[in-house]
Amino acid sequence: MLMPQSILVVISGKHKEHEALQRALTFAEHNNTHIHLLNVMFEPVTQLIDVFSIEHCKEMKRQCLAERFEYLNAIALDLGKKGIKCTVQVEWEPEIQKAIKQVVDELEPDLVIKRISADQLSINPFALPIDRYLLRFCDAPLLLVKHSNWTASPILAAVDVLATDEQHIELNKDVLESAKLIAHLSSSELHVVSSYITHSVSAAIDFSNIDLDTINANSARYHQEKLNSLELEQLVDNNKNHVLAGVPEQAIPNVTKQINAQLVVLGTVARKGMSGALIGNTVESVLAELNCEVLVVKHKAL
């Protein structure tokens, strides 16, 4: 992800401060960024046609939309005075996530920023249906935030150094580029993590002639060399990398806690149809163990 030229900011209701918008402004400070504010709203009372007349329900809906447009336009006007291009959109839809995806498909923004739906102190970004849906189906890079500003805590990029197909090789590059950008904007340390599986044999079988310790040590060394090479190729100049034994679902959350990372950058291949709806892939399993901000970048499946 390069510096975004267009950012879709999901605004939830009326608040004194919108974390997602404040984070978008961090990008806008360094670039001529177009910010598009989206608010998805729905009032069930406007559907009570057995209580109110149809015309009364329509009028209530009209008033709700008009009030929300006025609120967003005031924000856009204020940003315009600061030289920031901002447009607004209000959608009337009970399923927030589907409305967001439709707008993403129409506008094709460089980045989507949204506040994590759940309790930001205790629930991970994967916990609630809205964010889970977007993590699966939003084709644009998706940044889920908790706070208005970044801190000096580390940014963690997770890569697969054994990637051999073009899609995942490019995905590694996108993850590192995105993490480098955010580390720069937040003046934070950039850490990189990659994991590998150790080898073992059944105790019931005699493999006394196989030195597993040496095999695993060689595997760790090989992964470290591959990670160093990837960082060198992507101009990542630091020694804050982590090569851990174990599956990504364990290794990435462990490093996140160890270094107290404020944000984890993950990559996934965007898939359509049933393959895109499957639960249990690596990224979703990792997210289920995190309690920090996340940026998910996607490479479209061929």
In this chain, the answer to whether the domains covering 1-149 and 151-302 adopt an identical fold is: yes
The fold for domain 1-149 equals: Rossmann fold (3.40.50)
Q: Which of 18-32, 112-126, 130-144, 209-223 has the lowest mean pLDDT?
A: 112-126
Pick the more confident residue, 296 or 199: 296
Cβ atoms of residues 32 and 46 within 8 Å = no
| CA atoms of 124 and 117, how far apart (whole Å) | 9
Q: Is the pLDDT score of 130 beyond 50?
A: yes
Flag whether the pTM goes above 0.85.
Answer: yes
Helix 212-233 to helix 166-186 angle (10° resolution) is 70
Pick the more confident residue, 268 or 20: 20
Question: Which CATH architecture is the domain 151-302 placed in?
Answer: 3-Layer(aba) Sandwich (3.40)
Sheet strands (E) in 12-94: 34-41, 86-92
Q: Read off the pLDDT band of 288 (50, 70, 90).
A: confident
Amino acid 200: pLDDT: 53
Could you give the strand order of the β-sheet that contains 155-158, starting from the edge strand earlier in sequence?
Answer: 86-92, 34-41, 6-11, 111-115, 142-145, 293-300, 263-270, 155-158, 190-196, 241-245
Domain spans, the chain: 1-149, 151-302
Class of residue 165 by CB neighbours under 10 A (exposed 0-12, middle 13-18, buried 19+)? exposed
Q: Which of 20-34, 47-61, 132-146 has the lowest mean pLDDT?
A: 47-61
Residue 123: CB atoms within 10 A of its CB come to 14
Chain segment 32-64, per-residue pLDDT in tens = 899 999 999 988 766 666 666 778 778 888 998
Q: Is the pLDDT score of 119 beyond 70?
A: no
Mean pLDDT for the stretch of residues 236-262? 88
Across the chain, mean pLDDT equals: 84
299: nearest Cα among 146, 149, 139, 187: 139
Q: Is the pLDDT score of 21 beyond 60?
A: yes
| In the chain, % of residues over pLDDT 90 | 46
